[in-house]
Amino acid sequence: MIPIQHRDLEKMAQRHWEAIENYMTGKKVKYNIKYYDKKVKKYFPLLSFKEIVLANPNLIDDLASYWDIFVVKDYADFEPLAETSYKSYLTGGETFYSKDKKGNKIYYGSKNLVEGLGISVCPYCNRNYIKLVEVEREETVNNKLIRIDELDHFYPKGKYPFLALSFYNLIPSCKTCNQTFKKEEIVSVNPYSKIEEFSFGLKIKNSKFYYDKDGFCIDYEKAEEVLDKNFEVFHIKDVYDQHKDQILELIQKQITYPDSYIDELFQKYEGTFFRNKEDVIRHLSNGIMEEENFHLRPLSKLTHDIAKELGLLD
């Protein structure tokens, strides 16, 4: 698992709210902001609907816990939010929009959220790409192709319908994590939250480790401790064990590429291909990424952590 990081998260959340606000102030909208403000205050007297939409991960946790303790609650209060409004948002219809400085409409949907975050790989598993696919559907607007993106509700909208459009409750994810593994499960770590530091390690089982992947195993102890239920629900161990061949390649490259060879390549191509020796190592090791770029390539954290333990990275 990797965190969702972006320097303009708050600005993106505000744009997200603006698009919802514009949608819900339309003349033909039956369930408007005033309607949802009333429903929100029924359960959370000190909050507005806007504050629910913009709630940070910690507040979302508190709201979900508070919702759980209600003995009597009417899911129908928020059903239009969880179904009609969310469906329109997900499919990229022209009902959601923000405006530029000149007042021109900028249509907004799940596509914009995912692309704005700049995430290529699922934060839950860091294994699969998040698919942005243009397909024809019955909901197609003006005979145009629409883009369907995978957005997981960290707190499922079926159980927590009032969080259906909350910015920090919408997690870009791969289809496997969203629809196969998580479904309506509630996991422990929100990718928007600050994630406690952890790393994957390497355990040598026997002397065959440098040519046979049965000679070693991946050490998941720290990851399992930090990720807790995420580790279990997303089957991290079972999934990552399928990629031990990549770890074996790293072990072999650590043996076959001595420091002298790395120094030679760096001196030869410094300033053209390589900025530093880590660039050389990334080139030789199938593109190990820096920590701030884990969201761009599958299994980047796993390979980075193992490469560091092997001494390929400082």
Q: pLDDT grade, residue 241 (50/70/90)?
A: very high
Is 70 exceeded by the pLDDT of residue 132?
Answer: no
Q: pLDDT grade, residue 149 (50/70/90)?
A: low
Helix (H, G, I), strand (E, B) or coil at 7: coil
Q: pLDDT grade, residue 222 (50/70/90)?
A: very high
Per DSSP, helices labelled H in 70-186 are: 79-80, 86-90, 110-117, 175
Distance CA 279, CA 292 (A): 15
- Average of per-residue pLDDT across 121-137: 80
- Average of per-residue pLDDT across 12-34: 86
Mean pLDDT comparison of 20-34, 98-112, 130-144, 227-241, highest-scoring range: 227-241
What type of residue sits at position 60? I
- Average of per-residue pLDDT across 16-22: 90
Is 80 exceeded by the pLDDT of residue 79?
Answer: yes
pTM of the shown model = 0.89
- Going by C-alpha positions, the residue among 289, 288, 287, 296 that lies closest to residue 119 is 296
Average pLDDT, the chain: 88
Mean pLDDT comparison of 144-158, 166-180, 263-277, highest-scoring range: 166-180
Domain boundaries, the chain: 9-182, 201-310
Is 80 exceeded by the pLDDT of residue 121?
Answer: yes
Which of 82-96, 162-176, 204-218 has the lowest average pLDDT?
82-96
Is 70 exceeded by the pLDDT of residue 244?
Answer: yes
Distance CA 120, CA 102 (A): 31
Is 70 exceeded by the pLDDT of residue 168?
Answer: yes
At residue 92, the pLDDT reads: 57
Instruction: Determine what percent of the chain is predicted with pLDDT higher than 90.
Output: 58
